[in-house]
């Protein structure tokens, strides 16, 4: 069931590309950005109502978290969707979807360069492959004279979302639905205010409602299903399955919007798929140390959570403040909340 949740999350998110392309005939990019993100927040609020227990998915925000919240809201809620829909208005949706593979590459590069996470040969090979895919699309032209400019804007959207991912990772122990709702409301409101100022009009009602609905499913429901998948698969595996969404979006553009299929697109598909697969399989194993710490986040009782400090020894996901005793062990892992170590913490 967890795999179904992950693939459903990817499918719903992928629909935002071809369906967004259709709505851009009625709404301007700023308006699309605003209504899709407001719709995403609306979808999350609806889920909160029908599932009150969803509020126990993570720790509460604290004052020191606000700088990260402001940063990921600006880059992920304001800049990224604007770049995406501006680019999508100029480029075929299938090409746009493939270029979103740059998000995974940029996320890894920023994590390595700015936050000193682990990087290796897989990362640099993935950078080369996804970049080769971009050149393939650039040479093919995407079937429109402005497609090149559009693809550059989509790459900028990927960069903005990569910054969003890294800033969100600084508060990854907090409730993800709360974080997404903040980003949706704040980012959507800012872009809506900008749209009113720039276009000087009220968006047409029917397209606006459709964009809200698209956001509710592609951004709101998609996140809920992704969280369901993470509960059983873990963040790394669920994220790897979710990472197929650019290819789902590309295929949807080809099938439903009758966009052209040519050698440049096929080459880009192969290059970007290979690059994404390299990054999705990133994992390393060594003996390492977990220092003693206290924090609050959603967890199961496992090798990293063998405490019994909650009200009950719950077999299901729950959230409370808990302590970790010092621990030394070896297993496969990626850089995450419980494995933020540099390799000076590796036991040889």
Q: Which of 211-220, 253-262, 274-283, 318-327 has the lowest mean pLDDT?
A: 318-327
pLDDT, the chain, mean = 85
pLDDT band at residue 348 under the 50/70/90 scheme = very low
Same domain, 266 and 299: no
Same domain, 200 and 274: yes
Task: Quote the percentage of the chain above a pLDDT of 70.
Answer: 78
Q: SS3 sequence, 144-195?
A: CCCHHHHHHHHHHHHHHHHHHHHHHHCCCCECHHHHHHHHHHHHHHHHHHHH
Is the pLDDT at 314 greater than 80? The verdict is no
Residue at which a domain ends, from 234, 249, 282: 282
- Give mean pLDDT, residues 339-344: 50
Is the pLDDT at 313 greater than 70? The verdict is no
Reduce the DSSP state of residue 333 to 3 states and report it. strand
Same domain, 98 and 50: yes
Count up the domains in the chain and report the number: 2
Q: What is the Cα–Cα distance from 94 to 252, expressed in whole angstroms?
A: 7
Q: Which domain holds residue 317?
A: 286-347
Query: Would you say 212 and 42 are in contact if contact means Cβ atoms under 8 Å apart?
Result: yes
Same domain, 273 and 199: yes
Is the pLDDT at 50 greater than 60? The verdict is yes
Query: Would you say 114 and 68 are in contact if contact means Cβ atoms under 8 Å apart?
Result: no
Same domain, 181 and 118: yes
């Amino acid at each position: 069931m967890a795999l179904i949740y992950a693939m459903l999350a990817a499918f719903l998110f992928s629909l935002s590309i071809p369906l967004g392309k259709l709505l851009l005939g009625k709404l301007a990019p700023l308006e699309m950005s605003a209504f899709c993100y407001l719709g995403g927040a609306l979808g999350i609020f609806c889920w909160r109502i029908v599932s009150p227990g969803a509020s126990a998915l993570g720790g509460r925000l604290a004052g020191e978290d606000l700088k990260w919240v402001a940063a990921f809201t600006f880059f992920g809620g304001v800049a990224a969707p604007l770049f995406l829909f501006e680019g999508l208005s100029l480029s075929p949706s299938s090409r746009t979807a493939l270029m979103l593979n740059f998000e995974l590459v940029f996320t890894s590069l920023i994590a390595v360069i700015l936050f000193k996470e682990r990087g290796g040969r897989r990362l640099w090979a993935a950078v080369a492959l996804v970049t080769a895919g971009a050149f393939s699309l650039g040479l093919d032209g995407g079937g429109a004279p402005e497609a090149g400019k559009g693809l550059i804007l989509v790459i900028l959207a990927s960069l903005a979302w990569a910054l969003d991912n890294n800033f969100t990772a600084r508060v990854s122990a907090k409730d993800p639905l709360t974080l997404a709702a903040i980003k949706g409301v704040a980012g959507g409101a800012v872009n809506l205010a900008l749209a009113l100022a720039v276009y000087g009009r009220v968006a047409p009602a029917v397209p606006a409602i459709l964009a809200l609905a698209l956001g509710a499913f592609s951004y709101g429901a998609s996140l809920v299903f992704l969280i369901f998948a993470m509960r059983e698969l873990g963040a790394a595996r669920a994220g790897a399955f979710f990472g197929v969404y650019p290819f789902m979006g590309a295929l949807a553009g080809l099938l439903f919007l009758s966009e052209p299929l040519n050698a440049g697109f096929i080459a880009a598909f192969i290059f970007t798929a290979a690059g994404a697969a390299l990054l999705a399989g990133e994992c390393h194993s060594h003996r390492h140390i977990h220092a003693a710490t206290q924090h609050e986040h959603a967890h199961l009782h496992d090798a990293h959570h063998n405490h019994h400090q909650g009200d009950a020894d719950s077999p299901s996901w729950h959230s409370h403040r808990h302590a970790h005793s010092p621990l030394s062990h070896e297993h496969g892992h990626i850089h995450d909340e419980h494995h933020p170590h540099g390799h000076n913490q590796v036991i040889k």
